[in-house]
Amino acid sequence: MKQQVLTEIENLYEEMIELRRDFHKHPELSFQEERTAKIIEEYQKELGLDVRTNVGNGYGIVATLKGAKPGKTVAIRADFDALPIDEQNEVPYKSQNPGVMHACGHDAHTAIALGMAKALVKHRDQLQGNVVFIHQNAEEQEPGGAKSMIEDGALDGVDVIYATHMENYLPVDHIYYNHNYILAASDHLEITIKGKGGHGAFPHDCIDVIGVGAQLISSLQQIVSRKIDPLKSGVLTIGSLHSGEKGNVIPDTLNLDATIRSYDPKVRQELHDWVQSITKNTCQAFGADYEVTYNWGYPATKNDPSATDQIIKAAKEVIPEENVLHMEPNMGAEDFSYFLNEIPGTYFFTGSANEEKGFIYPYHHPKWDIDERSILNGAKVMTAATIDYLNHHS
């Protein structure tokens, strides 16, 4: 059966490309994906799947393919929102929505899931178990769609879950995996320092928020290097700093905006605690008031080793074995982590770069595009892993 379904996937390659290009041409931002969701719903219903719509906090869809034989249940997650980016590619499928673009591969992820559903449904009578397609809204914008979809029952009865991401840092016809952490937790920090403004010639009459801010930034940068175990990983990046308008005026407020990344939950908590402590003590030392807004974002994405082995085995069946490679985790973040906090599963990268064809731009870039062979590779790997899991656990 597996080889028959993989042949079906190959036969659906052109259709998956058409689907991906249609989604790419008509991107929709997080929590606004009405057209995309409607197409997914109609496609899955036409295949005869059981379809739930508006799952979670937006346009999430759960489509269930029930096999003719009893068995376990595998979920495939595909996100489908786009980004607020003005596309710079000149291609027939260029975004028709100004300022909105599929610059992260979610159009391809959705095409993969739909192609898998169409290939598998043709062999429903041989399918031992069920396959649930979780079409997730709003991955790009916190709080994301994953957590709310879980709360709305998207994982009910599911035993294992797989997801992939197109990756233009990595060449096409390659698969990259990690048995443990593959993506980081992502938290957002905002600090407002409140002082006393005045004339730049009379600083002794003021509480200079820029001076306090400079001290605070220096101290915050010491957290990772001096307060976190050097064998652990963490990042604190201050990406935005605003205060004042004129050189001879001492302003009375300063606003700081930062992102904080980590893997280990203990390190994540330590980063939070040290930010609070250092901010309080630095501001108080200079007589300034302050406000800290610390938003806990997506948790780290930690793969299940057994589920990862299933993907590795499947990948080696459909692409050259030497192209199935371990990769180090990176500090990107994903709300797929919420699914992995609930059940076993794995998240892997499908190489989509092709330097000769100009597919070299990283995700979130206005010239992002992919070698579409990656769609075929991702679909075949997850299909093979799904069938292997159902057959093995039946």
**Percent share of the chain, pLDDT over 90:** 99
Residues 6 or more apart in contact with residue 225 via CB below 8 angstroms: none
Average pLDDT, the chain: 97
**Residues 76-122 pLDDT 10s:** 999 999 999 999 999 999 999 999 999 999 999 999 999 999 999 99
**Shared-domain flag, residues 164 and 204:** no
The answer to whether residues 374 and 20 touch, using CB atoms and an 8 Å cutoff, is no
**Percent share of the chain, pLDDT over 70:** 100
**Shared-domain flag, residues 252 and 320:** no
Average pLDDT over residues 341-352: 98
**Shared-domain flag, residues 190 and 51:** no
Q: Which residues pair with 131 in a beta bridge?
A: 65, 74
Q: Is 81 a catalytic residue?
A: yes
Q: What is the CATH number of the domain that holds 234?
A: 3.30.70.360
**Shared-domain flag, residues 41 and 174:** yes
Q: Please tell me whether 179 is known to bind a ligand.
A: no
**Shared-domain flag, residues 56 and 141:** yes
Q: How far is CA 139 from CA 24, 239, 271, in A?
A: 16, 22, 24
Residues 6 or more apart in contact with residue 202 via CB below 8 angstroms: none
Q: How many domains does the chain have?
A: 2
pLDDT at 394 over 80: no
Residue 201, amino acid: A
Q: Which domain holds residue 128?
A: 2-184+300-392
Output the 3-class SS for the chain.
CHHHHHHHHHHCHHHHHHHHHHHHHCCCECCCCHHHHHHHHHHHHHCCCEEEEEECCCCEEEEEEECCEEEEEEEEEEECCEECCCCCCCCCCCCCCCCCECCCCHHHHHHHHHHHHHHHHCCHHHCEEEEEEEEECCCCCCCCCHHHHHHCCCCCCCCEEEEEEEEEEEECCCEEECCCEEECEEEEEEEEEECECEECCCHHHCECHHHHHHHHHHHHCHHHHHHCCCCCCEEEEEEEEECCCCCCEECCEEEEEEEEEECCHHHHHHHHHHHHHHHHHHHHHCCCEEEEEEECCCCCEECCHHHHHHHHHHHHHHCCHHHEEECCCECCCCCCHHHHCCCCEEEEEEEEEEHHHCECCCCCCCCCCCCCHHHHHHHHHHHHHHHHHHHHCC
The answer to whether residues 311 and 127 touch, using CB atoms and an 8 Å cutoff, is no
Among residues 273, 295, 317, which one ends one of the domains? 295
Residue of 41, 79, 81, 252 marked active site: 81
**Shared-domain flag, residues 23 and 164:** yes
**Residues 222-267 pLDDT 10s:** 999 999 999 999 999 999 999 999 999 999 999 999 999 999 999 9
**Shared-domain flag, residues 41 and 126:** yes
> Cα 337–340–342 angle (5° rounding)?
120
Q: Is 18 a catalytic residue?
A: no
**Shared-domain flag, residues 206 and 344:** no
**Residues 374-390 pLDDT 10s:** 999 999 999 999 999 99
The pTM of this model reads 0.94
Q: What is the pLDDT of residue 393?
A: 85
The sign one gets for the Cα dihedral 29, 31, 35, 38 is positive
Residue of 139, 270, 334, 371 marked active site: 139
- Residue 361: is it exposed, middle or buried by C-beta count within 10 angstroms (0-12/13-18/19+)? middle
Among residues 295, 326, 347, which one ends one of the domains? 295
Q: Please tell me whether 199 is known to bind a ligand.
A: no
Can you tell me the distance from the alpha carbon of 160 to that of 140, in angstroms, rounded to the nearest whole number?
Answer: 23
**Shared-domain flag, residues 273 and 345:** no
Among residues 295, 311, 339, which one ends one of the domains? 295
Residue 133, amino acid: F
**Shared-domain flag, residues 154 and 203:** no
Q: What is the CATH number of the domain that holds 305?
A: 3.40.630.10
Q: How far is CA 93 from CA 35, 180, 352, 364, in A?
A: 16, 37, 17, 17
**Shared-domain flag, residues 103 and 233:** no
**Shared-domain flag, residues 229 and 200:** yes
Q: Please tell me whether 206 is known to bind a ligand.
A: no
Q: Which two tokens stand for residue 83?
A: 């980004």
Q: Please tell me whether 165 is known to bind a ligand.
A: yes
Q: Please tell me whether 174 is known to bind a ligand.
A: no
